Amino acid sequence: MSLDGDGAPETNDRPRSNRLTMTKSVAYTCTVTQMNNQSENPCCGDQRPLEDLLEARFFKALGDPGRLELLVRLARCGRPCSVGEIAKCCPIDMSVVSRHLAKLREAGILRCERRGKEVYYTVCAPDLVATLRAIADAMEACCPPESGKEER
């Protein structure tokens, strides 16, 4: 505010505007449908349902970096390897290697064979490939890519 020549305060004749922000209210509706019969689900067709393929045990076995490293080394070897052989190439204790291999075996990723006192492990490559392919196929059937968008 400033004073004019006669000492009276100068006023601005423009009306003041209150700067209130108006927010828009938006309501969303979510509809959930439960299907009792799996055969009625058009996305599953003749395939196994997605929920049957997504086993926590399988993903938990693959979710550990140490187990993934053992799986990769065993797959690259291309032949059955004993726990001792596998443990030699890793900076972890043989008992830990053995536990990791057991988790991978329980998940159906590895197969083991006992030869005397030694246990030999191999990758169940055909089973692993079939499982991963079935998961990918089920995901594509249930969640097809949007038309007009590129697939990754």
| pLDDT tens digits, one per residue of 68-98 | 999 999 999 989 999 999 998 888 899 999 9
Q: For residue 91, is it within any domain?
A: yes
Q: What is the pLDDT of residue 21?
A: 40
- Confidence bin at 22 (pLDDT 50/70/90): very low
Q: What is the pLDDT of residue 152?
A: 55
Give residue-wise pLDDT tens across range 108-135: 999 999 999 999 999 999 999 999 999 8
Q: For residue 103, is it within any domain?
A: yes
- In the block, tokens 């305060």 appear at 9
Q: For residue 138, is it within any domain?
A: yes
Q: For residue 110, is it within any domain?
A: yes
C-alpha–C-alpha distance, residues 86 and 104, integer Å: 14
Q: For residue 87, is it within any domain?
A: yes
Q: For residue 92, is it within any domain?
A: yes
Q: What is the pLDDT of residue 37?
A: 45
- Confidence bin at 20 (pLDDT 50/70/90): very low
Q: For residue 78, is it within any domain?
A: yes
Question: C-alpha 103: how far from its chain's center?
Answer: 19
C-alpha–C-alpha distance, residues 136 and 131, integer Å: 9
Give residue-wise pLDDT tens across range 47-71: 567 777 888 899 999 999 999 999 9
CA angle 64, 54, 108 (to 5 degrees): 60
C-alpha–C-alpha distance, residues 126 and 87, integer Å: 25
Q: For residue 88, is it within any domain?
A: yes
Which CATH number belongs to the domain containing residue 67 in this structure? 1.10.10.10
Give residue-wise pLDDT tens across range 23-46: 444 444 444 444 444 444 445 555
Q: What is the pLDDT of residue 96?
A: 94
The number of domains in the chain is: 1
Cβ neighbours of residue 134 closer than 8 Å, sequence gap 6 or more: 47, 48, 53
The whole domain housing 124 covers: 55-142
